[in-house]
Chain A
Amino acid sequence: MLPLSLRTDLEIARRGYQRYAAYPLATAAGAFTNIIFGLMRGSVLLALFAERQRIGAYDAAATITYVWLTQGLLNIVAIWGWQELALRVRTGDIATDLIRPMHPIRALLAAEYGRATYQLVFRGIPPVAVGVVAFHAALPSDALVWLAFFASLVLAVAVSFAFRMLYNLAAFWTTDTRGTMILALVVMTIFSGFTIPIQFFPPWLAAIAYATPFPAMVQIPVDIFVAATAGPPVLVALAGQLAWALAMLAASYGLFALGTRRLVVQGG
C-alpha cells in the first residue's frame, strides 16, 4: 500500500486527467488545428533543404520529425501558458487552497501530470501519427531512445510547470499578470526551440538559448527523439533538465512562501 500522501497525489492526477477528458470534441478540434499548423510549418522548414543538405544535426528527415513531434508536444508542455494560480490569487480563492492539508504547488503539480498524460495520449499522438503515416516522420527504433525520451518528457513537463508557477506567483506582487505572462510566452516560444530548432540559430543566439531553462521544455526531448543527441550526452542532457526542474521548483516554493506572507484576502 502506498503512503497516504502519494495516494492523494495519484488521486489528484486522476482528477486532472478527467478534467480534460470531459471535453472530447474540444480535444478533436485542438488536434485538427495542431495538424493544420504541422502541415504549414513542415512546408516552410522543408523549403530550407532545397538549398542545403543539413543544418547542424538536422537533415530534411529529422526536421519533418521535429515538426510533427513539436506539434504533439506543444500541449503536453503547455506552450501557450496557464494562469490559473494567478487568477486564484487575484480572486482570493487561494485562501481556500491554503487551508488544505497539502501544499498548493504540490497539488497543482500532481494535477499537472494528470493533464499532461491526457494531452500526451489525445493531443500528442494524433499529430505524430499524421507525420509518420503521411510525411515519413521517423520513430526511434531503439527502446533505450524511447526510454530516454519519456524520461526527458517527464522532466520537460516539470520545468515547464515550474516556469509557469514562477510567472503566476508574480500575482502576489502585482494584479497585472497578463503582461508578465505575454512576455514570458514570447521568450519561451523562441528559446524553447518550439518555433524553429535551436540548431538553426546563429551560434551567439543558440548560446543565449542554452543558458536558459527553455530548451529543457522542448528542444532537449526532441533532440533525443531524432537522435540529434545520442549516447552519453543524453545523460548529460537529462541531468541538466533535472537540475533546472529542481532549482525552479525550489524557487517557486520559496516565492510562494514569501508571497503568502504578504497576502491579504479581502472579505470572505
Chain B
Amino acid sequence: MADLSDLLALYRRLIAARLRAQLQYRTSFALDSTGMLLISFIDFLAILVIFANVPQLAGWTLPEVALLFAITGLTFAFTDLAIGHLDLFPQLIRDGNFDLLLIRPRGTLFQLLTADFQVRRLGKAIGALAVLAYALANLRIDWDPGRIAMLLLIVPTGVVIFASIWVATICIAFWSVDAREVSNAFTYGGQFLGQFPMNLYDRWLRRFLAYVVPIAFVAYFPALYILGKPDPIGLPEWLRFTSPLVALAAAFVASAVWRFGVRHYQSAGG
C-alpha cells in the first residue's frame, strides 16, 4: 500500500501545482470556465427545443431526459477534468516525447494524467448540476435508501466507465497517430449517446455503443431504477444494479489495452 499512498501524495502535489499555475491568469480562467458552462447549456437548449415541439421523446418526458442529460453531463465533466488531457497524448508520440515517460520511475498513464489538468472544465459540471437540480425538482421520485445510494454511486461509476473508454480508445494512437480522432466517436460520442433514452436508438447501434461500449450503464440503467420506470426495451431489471461491476470490468479492459499499447510502442526515434 506504500506505493499507492506515494502515488496519491504525488498526484496531489502535481495537480496542486497545475491549479496554482492556472489561477495566475484570472481573466482567462473566468472566460474559459464561462465558455465551458455555456457549452453545457447549449446542449441542454437543444433538448429544450426538441421538447418545445413534442410532449414526449420515445416515451420519456422532459424532466426524465433532463435526468439522463445531467447524469451523463456530470460524469463526463469530471472525466474530462481528470483525464481529458489524454487527447494530447498522440502529440507526445508524434514528437517522440513519449520516450521520456518510459524512462521515468512512475507508470506512463499516471504521468500523462498529471501532465495537465484544466480546472476550467469544471464549468461543464456546474451546467450539469443546474440541469440535475431542474430534473429532481420536476420529477416525483419515491426516495428511499436504495435510490439515494444509487444517485451517489452514479457519478463515480460513470466516471470510471467514461475514463476506461477514453483510455482504451486513445490507445489507437500507439498504432496510428493520425487515426486518433476515432477515439472522439466513443468519448464525445458516448456523451451524446448517453444524454438520450436508449430505446430511441436502433437495435444494432444500441448493442455496439450502449452495451459493448458500456454507455447505457452510465445513466440509462441507473436512471430507470431511480425513476422506477419499466425498461421500454424490456431488458431484465437486475441490469439496473450492474453498473459498478461493468465499471470494474471496463477499467480492467482499459488497463490491459493500455499495457498492450505501451508494449507495442515503437519510438519515432526523437
Contacts and interface: CB of A to CB of B under 8 A. Distances in A.
A48 B57 contact: yes
Interface stretch (A11-19, A37-45, A124-132): A37-45
Interface residues of B, number: 40
Contacts of A1: none
Interface of A: 23, 25-26, 28-30, 32-33, 36-37, 39-41, 43-44, 46-48, 50-52, 55, 176, 178-180, 182-183, 185-186, 189-190, 195-196, 200-202, 205
Interface in B27-74: 27-28, 31-32, 34-36, 38-39, 42-43, 45-46, 49-50, 52-58
B223 to A, nearest CB: 17
B193 A51 contact: no
Given A179-B34, A182-B39, A33 B55 contact: no
Q: Among B25, B56, B181, which residue has the most Cβ atoms of chain A within 10 A?
A: B181
A34 B55 CA distance: 29
A33 B25 contact: no
Contacts of A195: 42-43, 46
B189 interface: yes
A196 B49 contact: yes
B180 A186 contact: no
Given A51-B56, A55-B53, 11 more contacts: A33-B182, A36-B189, A48-B57, A178-B32, A179-B35, A186-B42, A189-B42, A195-B42, A195-B43, A200-B50, A202-B49
Given A40-B205, A48-B50, A33 B179 contact: no
A161 to B, nearest CB: 22
A48 to B, nearest CB: 5
B180 A29 contact: yes
15 contacts: A25-B178, A30-B181, A36-B185, A36-B189, A39-B202, A39-B205, A40-B193, A40-B196, A51-B55, A176-B25, A176-B31, A186-B42, A196-B46, A200-B50, A202-B49
A205 B52 CA distance: 11
Contacts of A29: 178-182
B56 A179 contact: no
Given A36-B185, A196-B46, A200-B50, A25 B179 contact: yes
Contacts of A200: 49-50, 52-53
A31 to B, nearest CB: 9
Q: Among A40, A180, A183, A195, which residue has the most Cβ atoms of chain B within 10 A?
A: A40
B60 to A, nearest CB: 9
B184 interface: yes
B36 to A, nearest CB: 7
Contacts of B184: 33
Contacts of A196: 46, 49-50
A17 B185 CA distance: 25
A40 B189 contact: yes
A200 B45 CA distance: 12
A16 to B, nearest CB: 19
A174 B9 CA distance: 37
A186 to B, nearest CB: 5
A28 B179 contact: yes
Nearest to B202: A43
B11 interface: no
Contacts of B253: none
